[in-house]
Structure 1
Amino acid sequence: MVRPQVPEGVHRSPRLRRAGAVLTSLSALIATSVLAGPAAAAGAGGPCDLERTGAHHSEGLDTWNSRYPRPVRSLDAVMVFLRFPDAKPKVTPRRLAADHTPATADFFEKSSYGRFRLRVHPRQNWITMPQASTAYAIQRDWNSGRRAAYLRDAIAVSDPRVDFSRYDIVYLVADPDAPGVDADATKVVNFERPIRADGTDLRRLVTVFEHHPPDRNVLAHETGHVFDLPDLYHRPEDTDNSGEWDTYVGDWDLMGSQFGLAPDPFGWHKWKLGWLDDRQVTCDRALGSRMYTLEPLGASMNGSRSGLDTRTRLVVVRTGPTTALAIEVRGRYGNDSRLCTEGVLVYRVRNDTASGDGPIQVLDGHPTSSACWSESVYPALADAPLGIGDSLAAKDDGVRVTVTGRATGGGWSIKVTRRELGS
């Protein structure tokens, strides 16, 4: 029997934490690992788009893992509301749906420059689970057998009322006030072998146990996993999980923290998902120095689709067989309207590092200072972007990035210098 993996889900910074389907045994279906999966063409490719590896949610993007839906079109999601015999819900499904939509769809609309639309279809009534909420022992690191029982029961009671064949994504939303519900258990559960319902394969389920109102951007984070994006936070090794979670990327990209001041996905992720075209990504390959003009990542495109706008939004420097440096401009646009520090952000990407192990690490342009202590999830990286005149040397990569000024029309001028390692 295949043992269940630890499902992926959001983290909560300690200082921000708030007090008939035909099924086989789900215990045997929940994967211990997620294989690389079949490939599908992802774009023109090139020397800078790291190859996809077998790492869970690999940051390689030369091909698309077709086990996951790619969000370059409209996708439909059903939102099912589950209550329990041991509790009377204090809020209605309509109120809970409003906690997440249209906010989640709006987030992706902005991030994708209109290339992706998430259409959420909330059910209007509660569906009652067969067991009390306490019977499932719901918690962050969930017992595999209890989690399997919850999923088995949820699909079984929902199937007579939901035609799963109509939807690309399934959100299972539990009554947040039931005594056995733990908000930290909000997760995406992946299956090694899909379960069948209404003639369709369910490869993963989003289990939502959020309080009302929920944590900011929590459903957008979980939906990112549905699109093969990794967790970017660092889970502490202390038994009580009280250490720092945000040392890898801080506020940058909601796959790190749902509370971040700059939750818009990294340009690397927008490229991976198909929201940036290859024409908007510049690959820096040669030794020596070159000048580039970068358009802010979050600024709106010329036209409704990114293909109509060919201005550079991302510069990538391939630094090794499994690594690359990515350079982008972050400003107070769209999802980043609460951004702490504007400027040129540099980060390292690894294609062989699994979700949760640090596949992306932000390089701090101001390592001796911090910013936004009252709001940032990790002030040490809140001022990571480079301003005009600043320079960052990634010595291990043989790369230096210097911001030389602002260009007409809002772009930022940068110089990238590459040298041979050891020279």
Structure 2
Amino acid sequence: MSRAQTPDGVDRRRLRRVAAIATSLSALVATSIVAGPATASEASLSCALGRSDAHHSEGVDSWNGSYPRPAGTLDAVMVFLSFPDSEPVVRTKDLSADYFPATSHFFQRASYGRFRLRPTIKKKWVQMPHASTAYGIQRDWDSHQRADYLRDAVAAADSAVNFSRYDMVYFVADPDAPGVDSDATKVVNLDQPMRADNADLRRFVTVFEQSPPDRNVLAHETGHVFDLPDLYHRPESGNGDWDTHVGDWDLMGSQFGLAPDPFAWHKWKLGWLTDAQVDCAELTGATVHTLQTLSAPKVPGDKRRPRLLVVRTGPDRALAMEARGATGNDRSVCSEGILVYRVRSDLPSGSGPVQVLDGHPRTEACWGTSVYPPLADAPLGVGESLRDTEDGVRVQVVGRSTDGDWTVKVGGG
């Protein structure tokens, strides 16, 4: 297996190009919402970075009200689109099973039960008015053709779907239609919403995946619906490795990662971790902290057991630490320990707002399964330490308790 391929044998470079288009196509008729009205956030600690105007900013001091917040139950509808030039050969039942209940289970585990994604699956094909080849579906999708596609999809589905009942819309195209290109899968955000059933429709997840689809692809795209950024590195030439920023850690970096659970920072941003579960440390002096494993399921007393440690290192930057272990969404993790990463709230999606620090820069791990072996063994084990030379912070793992909690010492110098 070549390094350019995923564990499923899919070309990873192609997949990263797909992800890149989710950002690069956002400027024309269907454009990404960069800023919107803010609502109060739970994050009021001194180490909480402020939300900036950067697209999908990593700020946690307020919530961009243009996006639905994943709390409680959100309702989604999945609509399957066919075309006059192709009779579907796969059942919608089989296609829906590619995505649900796996995607709902992913978010239930990631949120510790705080968020439920409840899908309604429309079992009948909805036929589009034009051939699949008429829409020019591709990763460099013409904005006008893309807008035509969405308008036709909403109009065709309107008799079968009451759009006012749903927080999210997934349009899934017949994967075998000749004009369907899996590189075009993405979230489309509209500056000017469409109207249907007396509701404003601002956001769609357009799915063009083959069956079976890319692993965790729908969870990744749904993450964008909740204002999470792409975390991969985009080489200027389009060639090279796309996973150098975060490797396997967090599905917003790679949907194929061995440790796809969202970073603790993202869980804080989304409200799945409260301020009481975040410890702030200072640049001066040295302090000792205890961290519960991020992906461990919620147990009694969790409300005040920290899962995230943060050192604020500037107005728009911080150093974050969390414990990663082989449970929940991270059950296939390559190595366990304390993961250290930088966060920038002023950098937009796709421009490196998160950078994992390698605790073992001279070694690699999990060749053949990891999307980026140099960072697969990034976490620190007991007795190990690293110094962030950029911000002058030293992180040392002091020990681990019998119940699995990690003890971390952090300070300047």
Which TM-score tier does this pair reach, normalised by the shorter chain? Answer: over 0.9
Instruction: Tell me what 1:139 maps to.
Output: 138
Instruction: Tell me what 1:403 maps to.
Output: 397
Instruction: Tell me what 1:4 maps to.
Output: none
Instruction: Tell me what 2:33 maps to.
Output: 34
- TM-superposed CA distance for 1:99, in Å, is 0.5
Q: Aligned equivalents of 2:14 and 2:157: distance in 1?
A: 37
- TM-superposed CA distance for 1:408, in Å, is 3.4
- TM-superposed CA distance for 1:29, in Å, is 4.9
- TM-superposed CA distance for 1:28, in Å, is 7.2
Read off the aligned partner of 1:110 and give its amino acid letter: R
Structure 2: which 5+ residue stretches go unaligned?
A: 1-9, 17-25
Q: Partner of 1:309: helix, strand, or coil?
A: helix
- TM-superposed CA distance for 1:242, in Å, is 3.5
Instruction: Tell me what 1:273 maps to.
Output: 270
Q: 2:292 aligns with which of 280, 290, 295?
A: 295
Q: 1:333 aligns with which of 302, 327, 333?
A: 327
Contact 1:140 1:182 in 2 (8 A): yes
Q: Aligned equivalents of 1:12 and 1:46: distance in 2?
A: 42
Instruction: Tell me what 2:235 maps to.
Output: 236
Moved more, 281-290 or 393-402: 281-290
Instruction: Tell me what 2:74 maps to.
Output: 75
Render the CA deviation track for 1:346-390: whole Å, top value 9, x for unaligned. 000000100001110101111111100110000010000001111
- TM-superposed CA distance for 1:67, in Å, is 0.6
Instruction: Tell me what 2:4 maps to.
Output: none
Structure 1: which 5+ residue stretches go unaligned?
A: 1-10, 18-25
Q: Given the alignment of the two structures, is residue 314 of structure 1 paired with residue 313 of structure 2, yes or no?
A: no
Instruction: Tell me what 2:215 maps to.
Output: 216
Q: Given the alignment of the two structures, is residue 181 of structure 1 paired with residue 175 of structure 2, yes or no?
A: no
Contact 2:359 2:379 in 1 (8 A): yes
- TM-superposed CA distance for 1:142, in Å, is 1.1
Contact 2:295 2:324 in 1 (8 A): yes
Render the CA deviation track for 1:112-135: whole Å, top value 9, x for unaligned. 000000001010100001111111
Contact 2:43 2:62 in 1 (8 A): no
Q: Partner of 1:124: helix, strand, or coil?
A: coil
Give me the TM-score of the superposition, normalised by structure 1: 0.90
Instruction: Tell me what 2:47 maps to.
Output: 48
Q: Partner of 1:145: helix, strand, or coil?
A: helix
Q: CA RMSD in A?
A: 1.7
Contact 2:287 2:410 in 1 (8 A): yes
Give me the TM-score of the superposition, normalised by structure 2: 0.93
- TM-superposed CA distance for 1:193, in Å, is 2.2
Read off the aligned partner of 2:279 and give its amino acid letter: T
Contact 1:27 1:145 in 2 (8 A): no
Q: Partner of 2:12: helix, strand, or coil?
A: coil
- TM-superposed CA distance for 1:243, in Å, is 1.8
Render the CA deviation track for 1:264-321: whole Å, top value 9, x for unaligned. 0000000000100110000112511111111100111114xxx853111000000001
Render the CA deviation track for 1:192-247: whole Å, top value 9, x for unaligned. 12221111111110000011011110000000000000011112222xx3321111
Moved more, 160-169 or 406-415: 406-415
Contact 2:28 2:143 in 1 (8 A): no
Q: Aligned equivalents of 1:167 and 1:12: distance in 2?
A: 34
- TM-superposed CA distance for 1:44, in Å, is 4.7
